[in-house]
């Protein structure tokens, strides 16, 4: 467990953040410029904060007041950079082994063969890094960090430099990392769908301050927490694949409610997380009939947040879990919505993009 | 083949090569260190150091030679100290020629290596640090392999410059056949005697051959290293 408490002036405002990183993936979620990279650099020891404390379990890495400072190379933190930063003079195998060479002899290590298999980089081992594609580079960078026997992994927007296809290629490897490796991971992102797919824990950051932290479903389902704006709002449901239908749809069981989505790659029985974007949800007072949308979730209004513009965010508690709907304030008034009111959430199947559905597990 | 040059001429050629090799080899570690300091560190007096390093490039060589004589001569502050404590004498010895050549070649070496260091992305060195490598290890395993083409180019450049050094050398250690008479000094001596042009011409050919050989070798090594680094 990593514990972070920092205060540092930068770029016109003051970063003042405190949070904990338990096992799994903790996503530092916020706009660019909200202080995310400053935080990871302070954790890695690449930046000296003005005040604060960083501790990994019982080991203190930084304590400004007590004048404790562990240099970066002794922190045993695997850092996955946005640009990969592979060594151009070494081949893939040598890059992967680089960190292991400096790790303490008695440190618990990942097995090279297992990591290579998990990341699918076996055929690349003897290649020069200059000849790799962006996605391949990033997979090698993940492997290199993992094999340095780290106590913590930092990933600073590791997908931001990749196009959509490469993102889709790398995301499953982070899901495997989350589910198969016991090292805690601190992952920086400004993408709501990345957060929804990967996060075990979310730390939402706004202008250098932590505005919410907790389990992914709770933080993403809170209409007051919009670190990247209301346009990006969306809740996360956990569901189980029930079966695949012949017409190309996959039926999910979300807490007893059936959800129909375009065909998923996961087999029946698999657990998936589905991000439901708030602007794709329609609310109805009564169970609608004669509607093309396939998914209708009955629920109770938990909270309503009116925005500065014409919009409002409505949080519903349904049997499937927390759902957010972004509608106009006019509709809120017209439907007479208030906490406790019964409504039906309507969601088109095709509104859910493949990138919004995540692989196995990842407690929400 | 050996008859082509007289023994004393061969002596001048080999002395020049020995002087240049020593000058290059001894100044290389210092050159890398200086280049690294100028490229990566900020410290008070950095511009002064930069100027000092480049001084031999812009001063008349005879001035550099005279300053060397004042400093490293047997009565000079440094020369006297070195002779008394270590028995090292520079004045009027081949070691002095190597010192003069090394100092004259130093700015060229430092410039080439400094450019190579500035081309290395500090983010790679930072990444090596997060992977557990202490500073010296980062330098040895990341920086040095990446600047190797620049180090080789700088060394060959320094060697070639040392081979051709004349002014500072003749001022500092004179022109003693078999002791301090390097290739350029020998050519100069021949040209001072009537009818010495033919002898001078042969030595000039040797000088051209050595310089071209060094240049081709450096090209070849640099290309091989660049291929190995995979940058190209």
What does the pLDDT look like over A211-247, one tens digit per residue? 999 998 888 888 888 888 878 888 888 899 999 999 9
pTM higher than the cut 0.95: no
Chain B within 8 Å of A74 (Cβ-Cβ)? yes
Do B131 and A148 make contact, defined as CB atoms within 8 angstroms? yes
| C-alpha closest to that of A18 among A58, A49, A47 | A49
Interface test with A, best of B130, B134, B136, B147 (most A CBs within 10 A): B130
DSSP-assigned letters across all residues of A224-277:
T--TT-GGG-EEEEEEEEEEE-TTSEEEEEETTEEEEEE--SSPTT-EEEEEEE
Do B131 and A98 make contact, defined as CB atoms within 8 angstroms? yes
Ordered domains of chain B (ranges, CATH): 2-229 (1.10.3720.10)
Chain B positions contacting chain A at CB under 8 Å are 121, 123-124, 126-135, 137-138, 141-142, 145-146, 228-231
Residues of A within 8 A of B229 (CB-CB) are 88-89
Do B146 and A74 make contact, defined as CB atoms within 8 angstroms? no
Cβ-nearest to A148 among B132, B135, B230? B132
> pLDDT tens track of chain B, all 232 residues?
557 788 888 889 999 999 999 999 999 999 999 999 999 999 999 999 999 999 999 999 999 999 999 999 888 888 888 888 888 888 888 999 999 999 999 999 999 999 999 999 999 999 999 999 999 999 999 999 999 989 998 999 899 999 989 999 999 998 888 888 999 999 999 999 888 888 899 999 999 998 888 888 888 887 887 777 665 4
CA distance B171 to chain A (A): 45
Kindly report the number of other CB atoms within 10 A of residue B148's CB atom: 18
Under-50 pLDDT residues of chain A: 362-364
CA distance B200 to chain A (A): 46
Chain B within 8 Å of A67 (Cβ-Cβ)? no
Q: Cα–Cα distance between A238 and A216 in angstroms, integer? A: 11
Residues of B within 8 A of A56 (CB-CB) are none
Do B229 and A89 make contact, defined as CB atoms within 8 angstroms? yes
CA distance B226 to chain A (A): 9
Residues of A within 8 A of B129 (CB-CB) are 46, 71-73
pLDDT confidence of residue A362: 43
Question: What ipTM did this prediction achieve?
Answer: 0.83
Do B132 and A79 make contact, defined as CB atoms within 8 angstroms? no
* Cα A308 to Cα A115, A207, A305, A332, B143, distances in angstroms: 48, 19, 10, 14, 53
Residues of B within 8 A of A87 (CB-CB) are 124, 127-128, 142
Nearest CA in chain A to B231: A88
Please measure the distance between the N-terminal and C-terminal CA atoms of chain A and give it in whole angstroms: 18
Cβ-nearest to A73 among B121, B132, B146? B132
Cβ-nearest to B124 among A77, A85, A102? A85
Residues of B within 8 A of A144 (CB-CB) are 131
Chain B within 8 Å of A146 (Cβ-Cβ)? no
CA distance A84 to chain B (A): 9
Chain B within 8 Å of A137 (Cβ-Cβ)? no
Residues of B within 8 A of A83 (CB-CB) are 123
Edge-to-edge strand order for the sheet containing A77-80? A68-69, A59-63, A51-56, A2-10, A13-21, A209-215, A201-206, A25-29, A185-189, A152-156, A77-80
Ordered domains of chain A (ranges, CATH): 2-220 (3.40.50.300), 234-358 (2.40.50.100)
Residue A197 burial (10 A CB sphere; 0-12, 13-18, 19+): buried
């Amino acid at each position: 467990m990593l514990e972070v408490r920092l205060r540092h002036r930068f770029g016109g405002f003051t970063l003042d953040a405190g949070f904990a990183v338990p096992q799994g993936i903790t996503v530092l979620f916020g706009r660019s410029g909200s202080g995310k990279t400053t935080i990871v650099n302070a954790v890695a020891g690449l930046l000296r904060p003005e005040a604060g404390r960083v501790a990994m379990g019982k080991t203190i890495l930084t304590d400004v007041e007590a004048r404790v400072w562990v240099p970066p190379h002794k922190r045993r933190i695997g850092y996955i950079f946005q640009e990969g930063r592979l060594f151009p003079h070494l081949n893939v195998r040598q890059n992967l082994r680089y960190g292991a060479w400096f790790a303490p002899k008695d440190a618990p290590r990942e097995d090279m063969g297992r990591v290579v298999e998990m990341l699918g980089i076996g055929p690349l081992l003897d290649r020069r890094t200059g000849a790799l594609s962006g996605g391949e580079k990033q997979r090698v960078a993940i492997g290199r960090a993992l094999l340095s026997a780290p106590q913590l992994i930092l990933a600073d927007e590791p997908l931001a430099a990749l196009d959509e296809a490469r993102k889709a290629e790398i995301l499953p490897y982070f899901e495997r990392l989350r589910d198969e490796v016991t090292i805690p991971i601190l992952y920086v992102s400004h993408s709501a769908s990345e957060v929804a797919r990967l996060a075990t824990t979310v730390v939402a950051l706004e202008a250098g301050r932590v505005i919410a932290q907790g389990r992914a479903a709770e933080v993403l389902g809170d209409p007051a927490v919009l670190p990247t704006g209301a346009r990006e709002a969306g809740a996360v449901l956990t569901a189980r694949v029930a079966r695949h239908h012949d017409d190309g749809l996959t039926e999910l069981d979300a807490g007893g409610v059936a959800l129909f989505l375009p065909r998923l790659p996961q087999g029946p029985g698999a657990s998936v997380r589905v991000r439901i974007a708030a602007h794709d949800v329609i609310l109805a007072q009564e169970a609608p009939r004669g509607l093309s949308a396939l998914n209708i979730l009955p629920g109770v209004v938990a909270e309503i947040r009116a925005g500065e513009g014409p919009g409002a965010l409505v949080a519903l508690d349904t049997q499937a879990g927390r759902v957010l709907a972004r509608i106009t304030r006019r509709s809120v008034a017209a439907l007479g919505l208030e906490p406790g009111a019964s409504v039906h959430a309507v969601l088109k199947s095709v509104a859910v993009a493949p990138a919004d559905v995540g692989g196995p597990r990842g407690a929400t | 083949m050996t008859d082509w040059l007289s023994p004393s001429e061969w002596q001048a050629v080999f002395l020049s090569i020995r002087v240049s090799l020593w000058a290059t080899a001894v100044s290389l570690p210092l050159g890398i260190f200086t280049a690294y300091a100028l490229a990566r560190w900020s410290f008070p007096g950095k511009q002064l150091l930069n100027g000092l390093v480049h001084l031999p490039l812009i001063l008349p060589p005879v001035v550099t030679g005279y300053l060397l004589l004042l400093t490293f001569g047997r009565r000079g502050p440094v020369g006297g100290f070195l002779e008394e404590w270590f028995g090292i004498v520079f004045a009027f010895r081949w070691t002095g020629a190597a010192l003069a050549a090394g100092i004259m070649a130093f700015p060229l070496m430092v410039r080439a290596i400094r450019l190579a260091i500035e081309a290395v992305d500090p983010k790679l060195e930072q990444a090596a640090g997060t992977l557990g490598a202490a500073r010296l290890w980062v330098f040895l395993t990341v920086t040095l392999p990446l600047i190797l083409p620049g180090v080789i180019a700088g060394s060959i450049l320094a060697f070639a410059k040392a081979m051709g050094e004349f002014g500072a050398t003749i001022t500092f250690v004179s022109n003693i056949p078999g002791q301090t008479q390097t290739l350029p000094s020998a050519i100069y001596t021949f040209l001072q005697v009537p009818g010495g042009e033919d002898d001078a011409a042969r030595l000039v050919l040797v000088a051209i051959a050595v310089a071209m050989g060094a240049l081709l070798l450096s090209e070849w090594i640099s290309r091989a290293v660049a291929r190995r680094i995979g940058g190209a």
